[in-house]
Amino acid sequence: MSKHGKRSKVWRIIGLVVGIIVLIWLIIFLFPVTENTDLHKFDRGRPLVIAHGGGNHLAPSNTLAAFTNAHALGVDVLEFDIHMTKDGYLVSIHDPTVDRTTNGTGKVNDMTLEEVQALDAGMNFKDLNGEYSYRGQGVYIPTVDEIFSTIDDPDMLYTIEIKDSNDPELYQEMSEKLWELIQEYSLEENVIIAAFDHSIIDMVLEASDGDALVSGGRDEITKFVVFHKLFLNSLYQQHVHALQIPTEDSNINLVDKKLIRGAHNRGMDVHYWTINDPETMEELIELGADGIMTDRPDLIIELLEK
């Protein structure tokens, strides 16, 4: 066979392979996406107002002062983060240490509940006027138990993030204890459990026998976005109830009506974080986002009332 003939044969094979790949892609792309109606949706007929840390710009983050203030404002969802104390209590605090938000120092995992709650959690908070208005007012780091019992509202929804800055050996115990508290207060349909590390979500699902409502971890979100951008939604199989995402990630725009629709087709809600400017809030409202997480829930409530 001549060199020309060999080259022609190679190009025919390459063309055949490319054709097969394109055909497979078209079959996948054109295959109808079946909606998953079994997964839970927090539906209020409008974007949920999710108070980040209870509204971090309005009151000390992750405290009862913030949660009661947000509840009084009329938010839909209280969002907070949890770590576990040395003596096994789940407490609401964003950082692995108490250094930034209190007048103490130390890692939460290495402190007892008594030691953690002896600190002033309003010490370093500045209000919108630049005043330390909560300093010395008895604000402390609450337990999850105290949050549930203090709010005591059957309509209140929660997003609780198990922080991946805890000691890794604690995640299984934290998952089990959180699910026990959720059951104790009959909040199984009111709480979405989140974590950046999706292996923690797997532990939550194991602890709850698959009954917990969960948000996808970073790997799960990345997988969904990649499938969406490649128009291969039909290949994505979800096991979570919500995706909590920023407006962009690594310069990829995630404020996308098609992405929201794609998530809905797979039975998932889309919650954006952390949005504090009214312009982006309005854009997300118009796009049909299911929830907007913010440090300024008062601003979103004002926009929705308009």
Catalytic residues: 52, 94
82 bridge partner residues: 92, 162
For 33, list phi and psi in degrees, rounded to 5: -80, 120
DSSP state of 143: B
Task: Look at residues 175, 242, 187 and name the one whose alpha carbon lies nearest to residue 215.
Answer: 242
Closest CA to 239 of 215, 203, 270, 265: 215
**Whether the Cβ atoms of residue 166 and residue 174 lie closer than 8 Å to each other:** yes
CA distance 153 to 39: 23
Element (H, E) at 34: none
- Cβ burial of 246 (10 Å; 0-12, 13-18, 19+) is middle
Q: Look at the block and give the residue holding tokens 């997003």.
A: 159
